[in-house]
Amino acid sequence: MLDDVRRMDDELDRTPRVLDVLYDSEFTRAAFRAEWESWRGVIQAAIGRRSPEITRGEVLARLIELHRTVEQDPSIQTWSAETLYSPKAVYEDAGFDSWTEAKQSVGIVIWHRTKTLEFDE
């Protein structure tokens, strides 16, 4: 996640001086929303497709990482209200009974794959 945020930071630096008008907390929220939007389509597609090629663990691993970001900064918790797929909706659609079960089902190998795996088929 941090690498993605740094990449977005670099990309934003090449745009007109957007960062000049953002305070740290506002930038954090903006970066998070940009990160979420970049993965929202992936999550929607995976849920809609329900294909075994994209496992529920792979989708949830990425979402759990985003969820942890929210837990660290409560000021950006509005993201779940701004999207169709809150963590609860995603874990239920993926067939898990609880968020805890979803987290326990995501192994280290799957977690690592989400760091490098591209979902464009």
CA distance 121 to 115: 17
pLDDT score of 38: 65
* DSSP string of the chain, one letter each residue: -HHHHHHHHHHHHTSSS-GGG--HHHHHHHHHHHHHHHHHHHHHHHHHH--TTS-HHHHHHHHHHHHHHHHH-GGGTTHHHHSS--HHHHHHHTT-SSHHHHHHH--HHHHHHHHH-----
pLDDT score of 23: 47
Residue 121 lies in a domain: no
**Residue 56 pLDDT > 50, yes or no?**
yes
pLDDT score of 121: 37
Q: How many domains does the chain have?
A: 1
Cβ distance 102 to 94 under 8 Å? yes
Residue 21 lies in a domain: yes
Task: Quote the tokens at residue 41.
Answer: 């389509």
pLDDT score of 33: 64
Cβ distance 88 to 99 under 8 Å? yes
**Residue 117 pLDDT > 60, yes or no?**
no
Task: Quote the tokens at residue 8.
Answer: 């977005």
List the single range of 4-13, 30-39, 103-112 with lowest mean pLDDT: 103-112
Residue 109 lies in a domain: yes
Does the model's pTM come out above 0.75? Answer: no
pLDDT score of 94: 61
- Domain range for 11: 2-116
CA distance 56 to 46: 8
Residue 66 lies in a domain: yes
10-43 pLDDT, tens digit each: 554 544 444 444 445 566 666 666 666 666 666 6
